[in-house]
Amino acid sequence: MRKLLQGILDFRKRVRPTVKGTFAQLAFGQKPDCILVVCSDSRVAVNVFASTEPGDMLVCRNAGNIIPPPRADGTSTGDLSEVAILEFGLERLNIPSIIVCGHSECGAIGALISGKPLPDAPHLTEWVKNASGALDPSRFVFHSQKTFAPQNLVSQRNVLLQLENLKRYPFIAKRIAEGKLRLYGWWFDIAEAEVYSWDEDAKSFLVLDEVRTARLISQLDTP
């Protein structure tokens, strides 16, 4: 807390004068162009690795970057908050992209893999069951550019699982079918400070280097 409180003082002294105008504009409305579903982990600093600014993203953070799938009637099998954010972003803000971002050394995935009830964390025990489908190596088969630890492969499969869950919501599937929405799977390697993106053609998580980011940017201009 000490660092955060000191940080507010530093912000007021050094940064606030330069960004006050930006925030004053944003107070009239936001127009983010992506929804980011990302793990709550303190190390997954999207503002650092994606150089984001205020107003860039609508963020849904939870343990394990999980979107519980819908029931047959389209309502969430989890709690309401995740899908409420998605509804707000799509139906109110008309956001055209959703990114699911997992990461290496994920504690939620570790809890899932252990398979044991955590007496001191019963909610976490139940919550990570929403990612159980990622434990099955045959469910998502993909190539890797490098050797990842088994836990990190589960975390990568979990990104693909959550993308599947998203597509099962009728209001999301409809937007994808209408060409109004694209889904992306990202994965952040903490030790390497490197961001990977799921490539459907290559069936692989590939580093978001200059070539791949240029390709993704060019696709944004095509319907």
Residues lying near Zn ion in the complex (CB under 5 A): 39, 41, 106, 108
With beta carbons less than 8 A apart as the criterion, state whether 160 and 198 touch.
yes
Contacts of 179 (CB under 8 A, 6+ apart): 223
Shortest reach from residue 71's CB to Zn ion, in Å:
26
| Least distance in angstroms from the C-beta of 123 to Zn ion | 15
Q: How far apart are CA 77 and CA 4, in angstroms?
A: 36
100 neighbors 163 (Cβ within 8 angstroms): yes
Q: Which of residues 43 and 167 has its CB atom nearest to Zn ion in the complex?
A: 43
Decide whether 49 or 88 has the Cβ nearer to Zn ion.
49
- The alpha carbon dihedral of 71, 74, 80, 86 has a sign of positive
Whether the Cβ atoms of residue 186 and residue 99 lie closer than 8 Å to each other: yes
Kindly state the smallest distance separating residue 47's Cβ from Zn ion, in Å: 17
For residues 39 and 208, which CB has a smaller minimum distance to Zn ion in the complex?
39
Smallest distance from the beta carbon of 208 to Zn ion, in angstroms?
A: 19
Q: How far is the CB of 20 from Zn ion (least distance, A)?
A: 34
Using CA atoms, how far apart are residues 196 and 180, in angstroms rounded to an integer? 24
What does 61-126 look like in DSSP terms, one character per residue? EETTS--PPB-TTS-BSS-SHHHHHHHIIIIIT---EEEEEEETT-HHHHHHHH-S--TT-HHHHH
- Least distance CB 189 / Zn ion (angstroms): 13
Which lies closer to Zn ion via its Cβ, residue 41 or residue 82? 41
Instruction: Give me the half-sphere count of Cα atoms (radius 13 Å) on the Cβ side of residue 90.
Output: 25
Which residue number, 50 or 216, has a Cβ lying nearer to Zn ion?
50
Task: Give 124 or 176: the residue with its C-beta nearer to Zn ion.
Answer: 124
HSE of 13 in the Cβ direction (CA atoms, 13 Å)? 6
